[in-house]
Amino acid sequence: MFQIQLNNHIQNNEFNLPGQYSYYIFMIYIVSFYSLIAPFANSTLILVFFVNYWVDKYVLFKKMSSPVDFGYSLTRLIIKCLEGSLLAFAIGHFYWNQAINKKSPKFANFLNIISIAISFLYLLFSNLCPLHVK
């Protein structure tokens, strides 16, 4: 047998890590945005991601081979995307509070704007902060 044939025979299927985690991050953004409308989705999302984490871990280590190097840059990118869900959560609460509750007090709108500003400043600080400070 040639090496290519032997590799095809022995090597497991590839695990599509970027596709899987981009789907998870996309779902986190959607649930964060609509969390005021469906608050049950937050707890369901936590449960689903807990189960998905362990299933993916089992599949990755037992059944697949990973061509992706789990380096610092990939882990940092995933964490930055998850931190971005804070801003999506704040914007979703602001938008849906305006759309659903027409008689909401001005103080609630003020608090929503403050939460958007805090999450935006956190993202700004998190992205511009030097690594040795973190």
Q: Say which range, 12-21, 78-87, 117-126, has the weakest mean pLDDT.
A: 12-21
Domain ranges of the chain: 3-128
- Predicted confidence (pLDDT) per residue in 26-44, tens digit: 877 887 788 777 777 777 8
pLDDT of residue 39: 74
pLDDT of residue 43: 78
What does pTM read for this prediction?
0.54
Mean pLDDT of the chain: 78
Averaged pLDDT, 32-61: 77
- Predicted confidence (pLDDT) per residue in 62-91, tens digit: 766 555 566 677 777 877 888 888 888 889
Mind giving me the DSSP string for the chain? --HHHHHHHHSPPBP-HHHHHHHHHHHHHHHHHTTTT-THHHHHHHHHHHHHHHHHHHIIIII-B--S---HHHHHHHHHHHHHHHHHHHHHHHHHHHHH-TT--HHHHHHHHHHHHHHHHHHHHHHHS-TTT-
